[in-house]
């Protein structure tokens, strides 16, 4: 026979001012099965919790209903108190009479009645509760970091320095990401490569870090603490152990006119190549789609010249399987292909370039050794027009958001240009200057006041080429929309930062949710910014939204802290709110018909097949089996099950039914 | 009461265009072929609508800009917010006429031309250049305009002397009657 | 088998753009296509109607569509870009709004369905002329030309869905088929000044002047158009243009149908080039059988004037 205790909290004035807590407690005492009922000013306080503990002992309670705030707030508190008094914590439930009642209604009889009704339903539920044990899962203390840009590098180093193993997976032949392409960084103008390269080298040398470049995530299964990840190591066509990185192959390769991805098409590379001199690892790969041997079957020049015989044409992609306890996603962003801006003539006019291309022009290691020369004829441009918001904040082109970094890098570009071409004039067409950040606004002001960047508030309508000049047609909205025409020598588009092309498929492989722009979604926009909705998978950097370097690094360290926190446990405790197939041994009996519908609809791939065998080992039946480590307790399978063979622990059909009946049978 | 009567609200109601969506980037003015000749550029026009002030509304309806707009649609074709400025301009012109706030300069040329054009259609169902020009000259009092062009056009057979009218003129008259009432 | 298509010439083609009409009709004859005029058609209302009276600007085109429908026309060719624009926009608006459609039907006193296919002159050429061009082409159009599309063929793009709104190509492709070299220029869809031709001629001189100057600067020898308003402003308003440019310009302006007609051996009576105010003089073709003659040889008769 159930012996239920009911505890009504006033929450100071929060509930007490609106709900007559005393009468709710008095009424609750009359409910069948309730052996003790009391109200108190602050139930969550120490004396409040003691009341519960004492009552459990004194009245030999089998169930507790705390009628107070939202269970999201204090369920752990009260369940812990119950456990301390020797009552299974899952026999304690909360009736939310604050958010669901006192905060949303006026003081009055009806409000008190509603509070009582909420208590009543929970009493009926608790009568049907039974003891549950938390699920324990072991933790594999290896982290996988996907993406080797600055965020991935930072996260890897932080986790590795925390004493844990890290596997860093990078798609390109080298780590470094976009940051390695940048010239100087705002707002301090320090050299991007100078600050990044040491970190890259550290990655390569760290005893806790295994680096897989030219590799991609193939598939993932498992759950927090126990992920199984398959990684495709694309064939580099070289034996990395033999290769010394001498670079002779690259100089001898006859296919020399492939636009370099690293140089953003402003320079060429060979088919066997190292993307840039500071690459980590500094060993080449063969780009098979452009390699003469792979395309025509003849060449092998690199093999002939390789002093160590490291070329391996026959090498094949290799799939390796690794186990990890946590995954950090740091896949970064891409620059929107400016081809979607026909009015700005990107792709049509050689001297219309993207911001990233300008970075290469301004970089000391770039195709012009840091001299600002326009691509068409190598001349030093006398007038350069920078167009901000090229694609960002443009719903008509499908991007409503602000790319956040462009205001700052455009100011930096104008500044760098002026520093390198003293007699030149930079013009910046902008809508708003968004320079929120430490020393950011000072930086943009400096571009205007000290470096003479001419800022014009207005968007450019179109531009065209005439007599080797680019005629840019804009308007000055601060002069009432007066049309402005500038004959520029070069135009730089601050193109929008967008999610990576395959981010959607990656998100699906990892069961991570993403927004309408295919940026990965955080678990909570404010309080869980580096977590995803899948436990054990974290976010770092611009794969979540456009971010600058400091923000990416901060997020990466945040994600690393989460991983290290997770790895501080040898095993994880999970709430036992999971689905269960009814089964009574022995002999195994289940109403499950093995229709497999639940397997198909489970969003977490938590359901598998289980064969039921007789004594002779013959299969007599196949039924569903739920992996409690994977199950998130969403209840989808319960709703779909045709034979009603699945129940959600803690929220069984019987419990919910009891609650509903309590409401109906007023 | 004022809230309901603002130009901004009337525009929203009649054209479906929500002027508050304009964030004043100025791309419309940058591409407008006549922005340099207008008293208010397209983005200024949108701003004037946004402020919802009686005085500003009136100033706008009295402007020449709304009559200079060529409806070339360059603005909307490049507008990042896809705001239909040409549609707004059409509405502003009609409001300006309705409230008798026609711009003085436009009232000497652009407006009488449009009116003459519609007159022609009203009477013949089609536009008929000689009649149109004559009517316009009377309305605008610009008797000598294009005096050298007309004979040339005539000689090249580009100015038919007699109108080629619609047969069912009654139908056309009805249409004008009904639409003016609508 | 002669192909039959509905035809809406519009007022311009009866007057200032007579040569456009002539070239469309003779080209169709040449290619065995019968263009049947919509009986008792009326003016589409042009710029004036949508400037002064929104409802009227939808009702006038509706009457045209209703007349076409009454005569069981499924496809109509509308060479005038302004008419094409007005008819297409009206059809689009009516399709969106049943209440509006009812109002319009009541005003024109005719039922209206909105399924008639409206073809502009380029679409007409692409579908009905181009497939036969290799057979009928007798000359190579040996000039550098600037194809000028204007506003009304390409905007609003969400309604018309024709070509690309920025830097369209279809006319260029047609001219290239005739053997012409087309210039890549940025003024393809800039406005010529359109409806201000009479009321604010000086502005038209400026806008059209910029277009002519750009074509000349890029060494074009003719401007190819597909809109009577563009033609009127670039050809008839040449004095205003020359005044703005402070120079005498002689670059002729041809309708695309005239260019095709010439390349297919039509004479200038058929193409109507003799009606231009800026003369079409000189050798436009290699393999020329009929040189483009001075219009003295082909005077316009009094009957033709009337």
Same domain, C184 and C278: yes
Same domain, B93 and B132: no
Same domain, C111 and C140: no
Same domain, B36 and B84: yes
C-alpha span between A403 and A409 (Å, rounded) = 11
**In the predicted model, is pLDDT for residue A651 greater than 70?**
yes
Same domain, A43 and A123: yes
Helices A653-664, A109-127: axis angle to 10 degrees equals 150
Is A366 part of a structural domain of the chain?
yes
Same domain, A193 and A215: yes
Structural domain count of chain B: 2
Domain that holds residue C209: 136-305
Same domain, B92 and B114: no
What percentage of chain C exceeds 70 in pLDDT?
92
Using only C-alpha atoms, what is the Rg of chain B?
19
Residue A62: CATH number of its domain: 3.40.50
Same domain, A119 and A83: yes
A391 at B interface, C-beta within 8 A: no
Same domain, B27 and B49: yes
- The mean pLDDT value for A277-287 works out to 96
Contact (CB<8Å) B43/A477? yes
Is C79 part of a structural domain of the chain?
yes
Specify the pLDDT at position B68: 96
Which residues does chain C have within 8 Å of residue A471's beta carbon, measured at their own beta carbons? 186
Same domain, C49 and C148: no
Same domain, A483 and A341: yes
Specify the pLDDT at position A595: 92
Same domain, C189 and C116: no
Same domain, C190 and C234: yes
Residue A198: CATH number of its domain: 3.50.50.60
Long-range contacts of B50-53 (CB under 8 A, 24+ apart): B50/B8, B50/B19, B50/B20, B50/B22, B52/B3, B52/B6, B52/B7, B52/B8
Is A573 part of a structural domain of the chain?
no
Identify the domain boundary among A67, A101, A127. A127
Specify the pLDDT at position C297: 58
Domain that holds residue A277: 248-305
Same domain, A282 and A324: no
Q: Which residues of C touch A (CB under 8 A)?
A: 164-167, 185-186, 214, 217
Same domain, A353 and A478: yes
CB contacts < 8 A (A, C):
14
Same domain, C170 and C73: no
Instruction: Provide the mean pLDDT of chain C.
Output: 90
Domain that holds residue B87: 2-101
Same domain, B52 and B141: no
Structural domain count of chain C: 2
Same domain, A83 and A114: yes
pLDDT digits (tens, 9 = 90+) for A212-267: 999 999 999 888 999 999 999 999 999 999 999 999 999 999 999 999 999 999 99
- Name the pLDDT band for A624 (thresholds 50, 70, 90): very high
Q: What is the pTM of this model?
A: 0.85
Same domain, B96 and B7: yes
- Name the pLDDT band for B1 (thresholds 50, 70, 90): very low
Same domain, A258 and A399: no
Contact (CB<8Å) C239/B149? yes
Which helix or strand (DSSP H or E) is residue A616 part of?
none
DSSP C29-81: HHTTEEEEEPTT-----HHHHHHH-HHHHHHHHHHHHHHHHHTT-SEEEE-SH
- The mean pLDDT value for B51-66 works out to 96
Is C46 part of a structural domain of the chain?
yes
- Name the pLDDT band for A280 (thresholds 50, 70, 90): very high
Contact (CB<8Å) C51/B90? yes
Q: What does the angle CA B32 – CA B34 – CA B35 come to, to the nearest 5 degrees?
A: 65
Is C105 part of a structural domain of the chain?
yes
Instruction: Provide the mean pLDDT of chain A.
Output: 94
Q: How far is C190 from chain B (nearest CA, A)?
A: 7
Q: CA dist A284 to A153, A154, A246, A274, B60, Å? A: 21, 24, 9, 5, 66
b (16+ CB within 10 A) / e for A502-513: ebeebbebbbbe
C-alpha span between A456 and A498 (Å, rounded) = 26
Specify the pLDDT at position C82: 95
Helices C238-245, C201-217: axis angle to 10 degrees equals 70
* Nearest residue on chain B to A431, alpha-carbon basis: B25
Q: How far is A350 from chain B (nearest CA, A)?
A: 22
Instruction: Provide the mean pLDDT of chain B.
Output: 90
Decide which of B142 and A312 is more confident. Answer: A312
**In the predicted model, is pLDDT for residue A103 greater than 80?**
yes
Identify the domain boundary among B101, B120, B150. B101
Same domain, C107 and C202: no
Which residues does chain C have within 8 Å of residue A466's beta carbon, measured at their own beta carbons? 186, 214, 217
**In the predicted model, is pLDDT for residue A439 greater than 50?**
yes
Which residues does chain A have within 8 Å of residue B30's beta carbon, measured at their own beta carbons? 458-462, 473-475, 483-484
Q: How far is C292 from chain B (nearest CA, A)?
A: 17
- Name the pLDDT band for C210 (thresholds 50, 70, 90): very high
- The mean pLDDT value for A566-587 works out to 86
Interface pTM (ipTM) of the complex?
Answer: 0.90
pLDDT digits (tens, 9 = 90+) for A11-30: 999 999 999 999 999 999 99
Q: How far is B25 from chain A (nearest CA, A)?
A: 5
Which residues does chain A have within 8 Å of residue C166's beta carbon, measured at their own beta carbons? 342-343, 462
Same domain, A594 and A450: no
Is C126 part of a structural domain of the chain?
no
**In the predicted model, is pLDDT for residue C294 greater than 60?**
no
- Name the pLDDT band for B155 (thresholds 50, 70, 90): confident
Same domain, B63 and B80: yes
Specify the pLDDT at position A222: 85
Specify the pLDDT at position C249: 95
Same domain, A470 and A449: yes
**In the predicted model, is pLDDT for residue C290 greater than 50?**
no
- The mean pLDDT value for A1-7 works out to 93
- The mean pLDDT value for A150-167 works out to 98
Is A89 part of a structural domain of the chain?
yes
**In the predicted model, is pLDDT for residue C284 greater than 80?**
no
**In the predicted model, is pLDDT for residue C239 greater than 60?**
yes
Mutate to test the interface with C, among A464, A469, A471, A472 (most CBs of C within 10 A): A464
- The mean pLDDT value for C239-248 works out to 96
Q: CA dist A333 to A177, A324, A408, Å? A: 10, 25, 17
Same domain, B30 and B119: no
Q: CA dist A598 to A363, A606, A657, Å? A: 56, 9, 22
- The mean pLDDT value for A100-104 works out to 96
Same domain, B73 and B146: no
Which range among A137-146, A536-545, A610-619, B69-78 shows the weakest confidence by mean pLDDT? A610-619
Is A658 part of a structural domain of the chain?
no
**In the predicted model, is pLDDT for residue C214 greater than 90?**
yes
Same domain, B119 and B38: no
Same domain, B55 and B116: no
HSE, CB side, 13 Å, CA atoms: give it for residue A266: 30
b (16+ CB within 10 A) / e for C244-283: bbeeebebbbbbbbbbbbbbbbbebbbbbbbbbbbebeee
Same domain, C24 and C61: yes
- Out of C166, C214, C217, the one facing A342 most closely (by C-beta) is C166
Same domain, C219 and C294: yes
Is A243 part of a structural domain of the chain?
no
Identify the domain boundary among B67, B101, B135. B101
Is A222 part of a structural domain of the chain?
yes
Write phi, then psi, for C19 (nearest 5 degrees).
Answer: -65, -30
Contact (CB<8Å) C217/A465? no
Identify the domain boundary among B76, B101, B126. B101
Decide which of C122 and B142 is more confident. Answer: C122
Chains touching C by CB (3 or more pairs below 8 Å): A, B
Same domain, C145 and C65: no
Structural domain count of chain A: 5
**In the predicted model, is pLDDT for residue C267 greater than 70?**
yes
- Out of B72, B113, B149, the one facing C236 most closely (by C-beta) is B149
Q: CA dist A604 to A319, A323, A511, C92, C115, Å? A: 24, 18, 7, 46, 49
**In the predicted model, is pLDDT for residue C291 greater than 50?**
no
Residue A622: CATH number of its domain: 3.30.70.3270
Same domain, A64 and A102: yes
- Name the pLDDT band for C286 (thresholds 50, 70, 90): low
Residue C63: CATH number of its domain: 1.20.1050.140
Contact (CB<8Å) A342/C186? no
Residue B56: CATH number of its domain: 1.10.1060.10
**In the predicted model, is pLDDT for residue C100 greater than 70?**
yes
Specify the pLDDT at position B3: 54
Specify the pLDDT at position C289: 46
B33 at A interface, C-beta within 8 A: no
Specify the pLDDT at position A483: 96
Same domain, C92 and C143: no
Specify the pLDDT at position B140: 84
Specify the pLDDT at position B168: 87
Is C110 part of a structural domain of the chain?
yes
Whether residue B11 contacts residue B19, with contact meaning beta carbons closer than 8 Å, is answered with yes
Specify the pLDDT at position A610: 87
Same domain, B75 and B113: no
Is C127 part of a structural domain of the chain?
no
Is A122 part of a structural domain of the chain?
yes
- Name the pLDDT band for A587 (thresholds 50, 70, 90): low
* Nearest residue on chain C to B127, alpha-carbon basis: C11
Same domain, A355 and A215: no
Specify the pLDDT at position A614: 81
| First and final C-alpha spacing in chain C | 34
Specify the pLDDT at position A59: 96
Same domain, C225 and C265: yes
**In the predicted model, is pLDDT for residue B182 greater than 60?**
no
């Amino acid at each position: 026979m159930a012996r239920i205790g009911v505890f009504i909290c006033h929450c100071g004035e929060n509930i007490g001012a609106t709900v007559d807590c005393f009468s709710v407690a008095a009424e609750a005492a009359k409910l069948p099965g309730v052996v003790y009922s009391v109200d108190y000013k602050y139930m969550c306080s120490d004396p409040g919790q003691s009341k519960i503990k004492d009552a459990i002992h004194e009245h030999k309670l089998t169930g507790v209903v705390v009628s107070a705030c939202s269970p999201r707030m204090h369920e752990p508190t009260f369940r812990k108190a119950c456990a301390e008094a020797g009552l299974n914590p899952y026999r304690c439930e909360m009736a939310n009479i604050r958010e669901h009642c006192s905060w949303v209604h006026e003081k009055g009889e009806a409000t008190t009645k509603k509070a009582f009704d909420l208590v009543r339903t929970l009493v009926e539920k608790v009568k049907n509760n039974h003891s549950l044990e938390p699920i324990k899962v072991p933790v594999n203390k290896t982290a996988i970091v996907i993406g080797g840009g600055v965020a991935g590098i930072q996260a890897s180093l932080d986790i590795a320095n925390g004493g844990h193993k890290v596997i860093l997976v990078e798609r390109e032949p080298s780590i470094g990401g976009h940051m390695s392409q940048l010239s100087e960084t705002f707002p301090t103008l320090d050299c991007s490569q100078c600050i990044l390269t040491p970190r890259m080298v550290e990655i390569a040398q760290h005893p806790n870090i295994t680096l897989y470049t030219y590799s991609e995530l193939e598939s993932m299964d498992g759950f927090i603490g126990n992920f199984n990840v398959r990684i495709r190591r694309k064939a580099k066509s070289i034996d990395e152990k033999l290769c010394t990185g001498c670079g002779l192959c690259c100089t001898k390769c006859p296919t020399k006119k492939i636009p370099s991805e690293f140089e953003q098409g402003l320079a060429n590379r060979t088919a066997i190549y190292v993307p840039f001199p500071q690459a980590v690892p500094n060993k080449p790969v063969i780009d098979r789609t452009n390699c003469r041997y792979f395309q025509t079957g003849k060449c092998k020049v690199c093999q002939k010249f390789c002093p160590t015989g490291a070329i391996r044409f026959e090498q094949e992609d290799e799939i390796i399987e690794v186990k990890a306890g946590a995954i950090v996603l740091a896949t970064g962003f891409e620059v929107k292909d400016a081809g979607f801006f026909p009015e700005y003539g990107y792709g049509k006019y050689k001297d219309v370039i993207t911001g990233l291309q300008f970075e290469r022009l301004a970089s000391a290691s770039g195709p012009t050794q840091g001299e600002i020369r326009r691509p068409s004829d190598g001349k030093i441009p006398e007038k350069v027009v920078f167009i901000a918001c090229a694609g960002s904040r443009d719903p008509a082109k499908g991007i409503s958001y602000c790319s956040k970094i462009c205001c700052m890098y455009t100011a930096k570009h104008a500044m760098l240009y002026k520093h390198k071409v003293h007699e030149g004039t930079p013009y910046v067409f902008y809508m708003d200057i968004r320079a929120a950040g430490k020393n950011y606004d000072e930086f943009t002001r400096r571009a205007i006041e000290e470096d003479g960047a001419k800022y014009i508030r207005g968007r450019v309508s179109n531009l065209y080429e005439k007599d080797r000049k680019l005629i840019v047609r804009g308007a000055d909205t601060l002069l009432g929309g007066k049309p402005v025409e500038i004959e520029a020598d070069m135009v730089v588009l601050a193109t929008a930062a967008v999610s990576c092309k395959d981010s959607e498929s990656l998100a699906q492989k990892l069961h991570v949710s993403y927004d309408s722009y295919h940026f990965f979604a955080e678990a909570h926009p404010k309080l869980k910014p580096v977590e995803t909705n899948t436990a054990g998978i974290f976010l770092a950097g611009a794969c979540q939204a456009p971010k600058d370097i400091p923000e990416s690094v901060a997020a990466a360290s945040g994600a690393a802290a989460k991983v290290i926190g997770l790895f501080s446990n040898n095993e994880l405790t999970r709430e036992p709110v999971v689905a269960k197939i009814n089964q009574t041994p022995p002999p195994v009996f289940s109403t499950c018909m093995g229709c497999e519908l639940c397997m198909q609809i489970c969003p977490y791939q938590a359901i598998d097949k289980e064969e039921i065998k007789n004594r002779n080992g013959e299969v007599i039946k196949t039924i569903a089996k739920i992996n409690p480590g994977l199950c998130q307790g969403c209840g989808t399978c319960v709703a779909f099950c045709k034979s009603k063979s699945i129940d959600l622990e803690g929220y069984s059909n019987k419990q919910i039914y009891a609650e509903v009946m309590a409401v109906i049978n007023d | 009461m004022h809230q309901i009567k603002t130009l901004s609200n009337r525009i929203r109601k009649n054209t479906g265009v929500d002027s508050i969506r304009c964030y004043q980037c100025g791309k419309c003015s940058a591409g407008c072929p006549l922005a340099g000749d207008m008293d208010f550029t397209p983005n200024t026009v949108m701003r004037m609508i946004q402020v919802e002030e009686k005085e500003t509304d009136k100033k706008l309806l009295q402007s020449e800009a709304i009559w200079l707009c060529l409806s070339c649609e360059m603005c909307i074709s490049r507008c990042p917010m896809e705001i239909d400025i040409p549609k707004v301009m059409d509405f502003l012109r009609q409001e300006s006429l309705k409230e008798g706030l026609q711009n003085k300069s436009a009232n000497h040329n652009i407006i009488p031309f449009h009116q003459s054009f519609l007159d022609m259609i009203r009477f013949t169902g089609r536009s008929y250049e000689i009649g149109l020009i004559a009517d316009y000259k009377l309305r605008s009092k610009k008797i000598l305009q294009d005096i050298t062009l007309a004979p040339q056009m005539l000689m090249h057979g580009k100015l038919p002397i007699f109108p080629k009218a619609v047969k069912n003129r009654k139908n056309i008259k009805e249409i004008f009657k009904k639409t003016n009432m609508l | 088998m002669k192909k039959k298509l509905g035809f809406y010439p519009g007022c311009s083609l009866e007057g200032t753009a007579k040569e456009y009409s002539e070239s469309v009709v003779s080209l169709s004859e040449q290619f065995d296509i019968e263009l049947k005029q919509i009986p008792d058609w009326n003016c589409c209302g042009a710029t004036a109607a949508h400037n002064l009276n929104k409802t009227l600007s939808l009702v006038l085109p509706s009457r045209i569509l209703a007349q076409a429908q009454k005569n069981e026309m499924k496809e109509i060719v509308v060479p005038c870009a302004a008419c094409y624009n007005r008819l297409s926009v009206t059809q689009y608006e009516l399709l969106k709004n049943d209440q509006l459609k009812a109002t319009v039907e009541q005003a024109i006193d005719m039922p209206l369905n909105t399924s008639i296919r409206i073809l502009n002159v380029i679409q007409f050429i692409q579908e009905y002329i181009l497939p036969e061009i290799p057979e009928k082409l007798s000359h190579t159009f040996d000039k550098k030309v600037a194809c000028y599309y204007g506003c009304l063929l390409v905007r609003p793009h969400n309604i018309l869905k024709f070509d690309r709104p920025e830097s369209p190509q279809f006319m260029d492709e047609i001219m290239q088929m005739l053997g012409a070299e087309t210039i890549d220029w940025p003024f393809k869809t800039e406005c010529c000044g359109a409806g201000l031709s009479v009321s604010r001629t000086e502005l038209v001189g400026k806008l059209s002047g910029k277009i002519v100057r750009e074509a000349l600067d890029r060494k074009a020898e003719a401007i190819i158009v597909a809109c009577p308003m563009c033609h009127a402003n670039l050809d008839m308003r040449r004095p205003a243009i020359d005044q703005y440019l402070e120079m005498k310009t002689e670059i002729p302006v041809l309708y695309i149908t005239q260019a095709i007609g010439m390349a297919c051996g039509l004479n200038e009576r058929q193409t109507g080039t003799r009606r231009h105010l800026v003369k079409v003089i000189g050798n436009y073709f290699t393999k020329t059988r009929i040189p483009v003659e001075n219009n003295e040889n082909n005077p316009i008769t009094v009957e033709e004037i009337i």
